[in-house]
Structure formats: C-alpha cells, structure tokens
C-alpha cells in the first residue's frame, strides 16, 4: 500500500503498525511524535495503530530552536 510519510509517498506492507513503520525507519519510538491523518497517536498505542492505504503520517522530533 502507499502512505504519505512526512509529505512524501512511500510503500509500506499492508497492515503495518506505526511501531513497525518506525522500526523500519530505524527510529526510536521514545524520541518521536506521530500524527496519523491529523490526529496524534499516543506513544503507548504505536503497536496498535494500524496503517491503511493513503494514510498521511507525520513523524516529528526535536531539533535545535529558540
């Protein structure tokens, strides 16, 4: 299936969870925040949040700023 990850199209296996996606990307779940179709996904539900075709996912973290 195709998902939109941080504004870019990307293929992901059907039925992937947010947690599986983060693992594929090599990201530590404790350091990021995830938004799925505009709604925050709580960190303790990453494993249960299942992605669907055309989902829009934002994965953010902290960077230097003032």
Q: What is the DSSP letter of 4?
A: E
Q: What's the min distance (Å) between Cβ of 31 and other proteins?
A: 6
- Decide if residue 31 touches other proteins (CB under 8 A): yes
| End-to-end Cα spacing for the chain | 38
| Closer CB to other proteins, 1 or 32, in the complex | 32
- Decide if residue 3 touches other proteins (CB under 8 A): no
| Closer CB to other proteins, 7 or 11, in the complex | 7
CB-based contact 47:19 (threshold 8 Å): yes
């Amino acid at each position: 299936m195709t998902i939109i990850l941080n504004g870019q199209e990307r293929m992901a296996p059907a039925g992937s969870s947010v947690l599986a996606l983060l693992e594929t990307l090599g990201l530590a779940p404790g350091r990021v925040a995830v938004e799925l179709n505009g709604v925050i996904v709580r960190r303790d539900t990453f494993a249960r949040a299942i992605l669907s075709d055309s989902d829009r996912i934002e994965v953010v973290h902290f960077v230097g700023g003032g």
